Amino acid sequence: MEETKSVIKEGEFDRSGQYDAGLKSLVRALKWAFGFLLVTITGLMIYFLTAGGYFSVEPQHAVIVMQFGKIDGQPYTSGGYWFFPYPVHRWVKVRTNQQSLRVDFLPAERPDGAPPQALAPGRDSYLLTGDANIIHSSWRVNYHVANSSTYYTSLATPEDPTATDAAEMDVNGFPGTRGPQTLVRNLFRSAVIDVTSELHVDNMLYGKRVEYSDAVQAKFAALLAKANCGIVVDNITLEQVFPPLKTKSAFDEVAAASNTVDSMRSKAEQYAVQAGNEAAAGKTELIATAKTYKELVVSEVKSESTYFRSINTEYLKNPKTVLMTLYTNTLADVLQSLQGKYILGTTGSGFKQVRIQLNPEPKRRPAPAAREN
């Protein structure tokens, strides 16, 4: 069966209408495409002039605006703003709240129950002290971004400064990171190594841990200021510090001996204070007793002096009577304390006499002290 072919010569009109239908379909498709393109362009223009250039600053953040790659003014710290969007303007967010880093100088982890091993450089992290000892420590560093523009321009920050540092290989082929947190960590490690190399191990382990931490913080703040990276240290915390595990028992013995010495010294100081107080109290009591005894002796001497003067006056008047009275009184005083009394005397003619006192004499009262005019 032969196929019928329709040949249209040049200049002849297509009376069948096939080309007219295709042309209409093409025009219709072009209209739809033009309408879609118009809507898209209109939407992009609306977005470009409204939401595309708007941003709001989140709490504890700062926004740096750059116009054609150059920072435009000071960072924005609060509120909402509108700028022409990319490629005219571009903005990045920087965290300004307090950030925390942990920096350790610890030995590598061993399997559970494994005995202490010798430290190996490259595997274990440790510090050398000023008196050639080895210690381990663990630190917590708190800091914040004080100048976000300086922070962003001076450090190798990623496109998103709020992201973590990017991982990369160092010049020796070891895995590492690159970014602001890595810089802060390395500056702090440098401060710890520098300060530790100047101190004795006893001061850092036992006696002066606070002074050790303060010295590291001061050194770290100085390094941050010298780096001019827009970061300010808030505080650091020395979480733990200890000697190598193989030597820990020896350090514990030294610490125990030091504690014993401190305890004995404290007891000695307490005893010295107590003995001093007792001596001071005894001194005061002894002085008071001596004063009282002095006053008593002086009073008795004055009384006897007055009594003697009165007797002397009577003696000058009548010596025999006074002597007899004194003799009788003295004899009565001597015999007063005896229960049975036997008096042996001799008369002028040489005869012995025995006198027995049947009733004791009443106890004589001492003569009252005469007041001296």
Supply the Cα-derived Rg of the chain in whole angstroms.
56
Share of the chain above pLDDT 90, in %: 19
User: DSSP letters along 217-251, please?
Assistant: HHHHHHHHHHHT-SEEEEEEEEEEEE--GGGHHHH
CA 181, distance to chain mean position in Å, is: 25
pTM to 2 decimals?
Answer: 0.58
Q: Which domains does the chain have, with CATH numbers?
A: 22-95 (no CATH), 99-109+120-243 (3.30.479.30)
pLDDT at 8 over 60: no
The contacts found for 65-74 with CB under 8 angstroms, 24 or more apart, are 65/89, 65/90, 65/91, 66/90, 66/91, 66/92, 71/149, 71/153, 74/149
d(C-alpha 199, C-alpha 215), whole Å: 10
Q: Three-state SS across 293-310?
A: HHHHHHHHHHHHHHHHHH
pLDDT tens per residue across span 141-162: 999 988 888 888 877 566 666 6
pLDDT at 9 over 50: no
Which of 218, 244, 233 lies closest to 140, judged by CA? 233
Q: What average pLDDT score do residues 341-351 get?
A: 59
d(C-alpha 276, C-alpha 273), whole Å: 5
Q: What average pLDDT score do residues 31-43 get?
A: 80
Q: What is the β-pairing status of strands 134-145 and 231-242?
A: antiparallel
Share of the chain above pLDDT 70, in %: 77
d(C-alpha 50, C-alpha 57), whole Å: 17
Higher pLDDT, 358 or 53: 53
What is the reported pLDDT for 364? 61
pLDDT at 285 over 50: yes
Structure tokens at 127: 């510090």
pLDDT tens per residue across span 268-278: 999 999 998 98
Please state, in angstroms and as integers, the Cα–Cα distance from residue 266 to each residue in 68, 259, 261, 271, following that order: 72, 10, 8, 9
pLDDT at 100 over 80: yes
pLDDT at 223 over 90: yes
Please state, in angstroms and as integers, the Cα–Cα distance from residue 246 to each residue in 27, 30, 134, 135, 259, following that order: 89, 84, 11, 11, 22
d(C-alpha 367, C-alpha 311), whole Å: 12
**Contact, 242 vs 136, CB < 8 A?**
yes
d(C-alpha 244, C-alpha 253), whole Å: 14
Confidence of residue 1 (pLDDT cuts 50, 70, 90): very low
Peptide bond into 87 cis (omega under 30): yes
